[in-house]
Chain A
Amino acid sequence: GQQRLVQCYKAEHLWLPCFLRTLAELVQQQCRCLVEGSLSIIDQRTMMQCGWLHSGPQLWLRCVHREVRVKAGKEPQVEEHRGWLLTVDPVSHSVVLVNFREDGASVHVVMGHAVEHVEVLREADREMAERLRCFLPPKTISLDPEELQRRRSSVCRWLQKNRVPVEEDGNELRVAGALTIKAPYGPEDCCSSNQIILDRIQRLIQVQPDPHSETDPSRTGITSSN
C-alpha cells in the first residue's frame, strides 16, 4: 500500500520539474502524514525555493487561485505575505495576491526580483474560487453599433451646444483638430496632446445631462451653476 502511494507520488512530482525537495524527504513526510491520518496535506503543501524564478508559466498557472505564502526581500528586511494567488506576471515574475476583507479587497504585489520563497498552502473552496474568478475587472462590454452611433451623436450635439468645434470622423469625434474622442465617448476616452483642451472637454462630457433624456434644450454646460 505504502509502496504504491510512493510510486504515484513520484510520478506526479517528476512532472513538475522545479521542486527541489528530494524524494526521500517527501516519503518521510508522507509516512508522517499517514500516521496522522491526513494524507491530503502532502499534495498541497509544496515548497518552491529559489526555483520559483526558474519555474515555467505552466506551473504558475496551476497555482493560480490557491492560497500561497510568499517570503520577499533579503535580510534584514524580510517580509512575509499570505493571500490568494491571482496571477504571476511572466515578464517581471511579480506575484499578485489578494485578501478579502468585509469592506473590499486588498491586493498585494510582490516584485519578481524580490521573491525569495513561495509556499502553496491550500486550494480555494467553491465559494472562494467563484469570488476569485469574478475579482478581476471584466472585459469591457462592447456596445452594438447603433447604440454607439446614438451616443456619438449625443455627445457631438452636446459639444456643439457648448460652442465646441467638433465633427464626426468615422467612429470617432474630432474636436478642434487637437482632440479625439473614441468609443464609448466618455471622459476617459478623450485623447489629446493639449492638456488644456483635454481638461475642458473631459469636464464638459462629465457634466453632460443624461444623454437618454435630453428634454431641456436650453441647458448648456458652460452656464450651469455648480
Chain B
Amino acid sequence: MATPVPVLRLPKGPDPNSRGFDPNSPRFTALCRTSIPTSAAAESDPVQLQEEQHARSVLRERFLRCLLAMTNRKVHFQMHEKVNVEATFGASDIDVLNFQVSDLHTPIGVQKEALIRCQDVISFTFDI
C-alpha cells in the first residue's frame, strides 16, 4: 500500500472557511440546497401531502441503507475534469453534501483521510 502523503495546507482564500464548506458562503448557498421543498400540489391537499411524505421517507430510508452498505468499501468517484479517484468510504453528512473517506488515491498521492464535496462529484460506484 502506498505511503500516505503528508497533509497539504493549501493557501487560504479571501473568506474564512473559503474552501466551500462554510454554510454562509455564497458558493454554499448558491449550490447546496439542503433539501427539496414540498410540491405545490401537496401543500394544499393534506392527503397528497401524506402520500408525498410517505414516498419521501421510503426513498430516503432506502438511500440511507445504500450508504450504510457502502461503509468501509472501496468506492470509485467520477468527478469534474475527468478526475477519477478511489477511496474507502467512511461517512456522509445528513444533507449529502460532504463525504468522509479514507485512503483517497489522488494523482499526487494517497491522502489518509479526506473530505469530498458532493458538488464536485458527478457519480460514484462500488461493488457488493
Which of A's residues lie within 8 Å of B, judged by CB?
17, 53, 56-58, 60-61, 64, 72-73, 77, 79, 81, 86-94, 96, 104-111, 113-114, 136-137
Q: In the complex, are the beta carbons of B118 and A111 less than 8 A apart?
A: yes
**Binding site secondary structure of chain B:** helix
Chain A residues with CB under 8 Å of B9's CB are: none
Binding site for A on B (CB under 8 A): 31, 34-36, 39, 41-42, 51-52, 55-56, 58-60, 62-63, 65-66, 68-70, 78, 80-82, 94-97, 118-119, 121-128
In the assembled complex, the CB of A129 is this many whole angstroms from the nearest CB of chain B, namely: 15
With A56-B55, A57-B56, A113-B31 as given contacts, are A94 and B122 in contact (CB-CB < 8 Å)? no
**Do residues A89 and B121 form an inter-chain contact, with CB atoms below 8 A?**
no
- B58 contacts A106, C-beta separation under 8 Å: no
Chain B, residue nearest A76 (CB):
B82
- The CA of A81 and the CA of B64, in the complex, are separated in Å by 21
A58–B48 alpha-carbon span in the complex (Å): 10
Asked if residues A86 and B62 are in contact (CB atoms below 8 Å), the reply is yes
Given contact pairs A90-B36, A107-B66, A136-B66, A60 touches B59 in the complex (Cβ within 8 A): yes
Query: What are 5 A-B residue pairs whose CB atoms fall within 8 Å in the complex?
Result: A79-B78, A79-B122, A87-B63, A107-B70, A113-B119
Please indicate the chain B residues that have their CB under 8 angstroms from the CB of A73 in the complex: 122-123
How many A-B pairs fall under 8 Å by CB?
112
Contact partner of B123 among A56, A81, A137, CB < 8 A?
A: A81
**Closest A residue by C-beta to B65:** A136
Nearest residue in B to A56 (C-beta to C-beta)? B39
Contacting pair A77 B80 (CB below 8 A): yes
Nearest chain-A residue to B39 (Cβ)? A56
B52 x A72 contact (CB < 8 A): no
Q: Which of A58, A110, A114 touches B52 (beta carbons < 8 Å)?
A: A58
Assess the B66–A109 pair: CB atoms within 8 A: yes
Contacts A56-B39, A108-B124 known; 18 new A-B pairs at CB < 8 A: A56-B42, A60-B59, A73-B122, A81-B123, A87-B66, A88-B59, A88-B63, A90-B36, A90-B59, A91-B35, A91-B96, A96-B62, A105-B127, A106-B125, A106-B127, A106-B128, A110-B122, A137-B65
A79 to B: closest C-beta gap in Å: 6
Checking B34, B35, B63 against A94 with a beta-carbon cut-off of 8 angstroms, the contacting residue is: B63
Partner of A56, one of B52, B118, B128: B52
For B34, the chain A residues whose CB sits under 8 A away are 91
- Chain B residues whose CB sits within 8 angstroms of the CB of A106 once the complex forms: 125-128
Q: Which residue of B lies closest to A62 (CB)?
A: B55
Query: Which residues from chain A contact B81 at a C-beta distance below 8 Å?
Result: 77
Contact B128–A90 (Cβ < 8 Å): no
Is B118 touching A92 in the complex (CB atoms < 8 A)?
Answer: yes
Q: How far is the CA of A87 from the CA of B51 in the complex (A)?
A: 17
Q: How far is it, in angstroms, between the C-alpha of A61 and the C-alpha of B63 when the chains are bound?
A: 12
Query: B60: which of A86, A89, A105 is its contact (CB, 8 Å)?
Result: A89
Contact call B69/A72, Cβ cutoff below 8 A: no
